[in-house]
């Protein structure tokens, strides 16, 4: 379990019963990132977390799903698509951030710690047309 402190490494995996090397996230504790209202941000597979924020298995899994998405999109296309979808969803009903298909996939599967072992490539595409979050 990853608690407080400057931890660098990959998360525990319930499937591997070891530190999983699939879609790892390096943890960097900083007071600069992420911006207000967010608990963590994943930039190029590096997870920036504020000091004192508890990193649960769920949060790790959420961020590792993002790493998997980033890898299959060769990183640059992930950020382009992420930003463009956010722009498109801004004037729409509901929370634009939560309705980005990358976020929908991550939120929908973060509790399933084995998800990354069975996840099909480009699984986020299936979330583009799902019912939106109204908050
Ligand atoms: Zn997310």
* Ligand 1 mean position, distance from CA 96 (Å): 12
Distance from Cα 5 to the centre of ligand 1, integer Å:
22
Gap from CA of 95 to ligand 1 centroid (Å): 13
Identify the burial level of 105 via C-beta atoms within 10 angstroms of its C-beta, where 0-12 means exposed, 13-18 middle and 19 or more buried. buried
pLDDT tens for 53-80 read 888 888 888 998 999 999 999 999 999 9
SS3 content of the chain, % helix, strand, coil (to 5): 40, 10, 50
Q: How far is the CA of 39 from the centre of ligand 1 (A)?
A: 10
Beta-carbon contacts of residue 50 (< 8 Å; ≥ 6 apart):
29, 30, 31, 34, 39
Determine the Cα–Cα distance for residues 20 and 122; give it in Å rounded to an integer: 21
pLDDT surpassing 60 at residue 105: yes
Q: Using the mean position of ligand 1's atoms as its centre, give its distance from the Cα of residue 64 in Å.
A: 9
What residue segments make up the domains of the chain, in order of their start?
A: 12-127
pLDDT in tens, 6-52: 343 445 555 554 455 566 677 888 888 888 778 889 888 888 888 88
The rounded Å distance from CA 18 to ligand 1 centre is 24
């Amino acid at each position: 379990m990853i608690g407080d402190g400057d931890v660098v490494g990959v998360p525990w995996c319930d499937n591997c019963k070891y530190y999983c090397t699939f879609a790892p996230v390096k943890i960097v504790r900083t007071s600069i990132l992420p911006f207000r209202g967010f608990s963590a941000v994943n930039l190029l597979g590096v997870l920036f977390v504020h000091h004192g924020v508890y990193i649960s298995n769920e949060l790790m899994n959420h961020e590792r799903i993002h790493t998997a998405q980033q890898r299959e999109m060769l990183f640059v296309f992930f950020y382009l698509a992420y930003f463009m979808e956010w722009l498109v969803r801004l004037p729409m009903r509901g929370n634009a951030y939560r309705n980005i298909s990358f976020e929908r996939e991550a939120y929908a599967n973060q509790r399933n710690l084995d998800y990354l072992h069975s996840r099909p490539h480009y699984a986020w595409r299936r979330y583009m047309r799902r019912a939106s979050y109204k908050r």
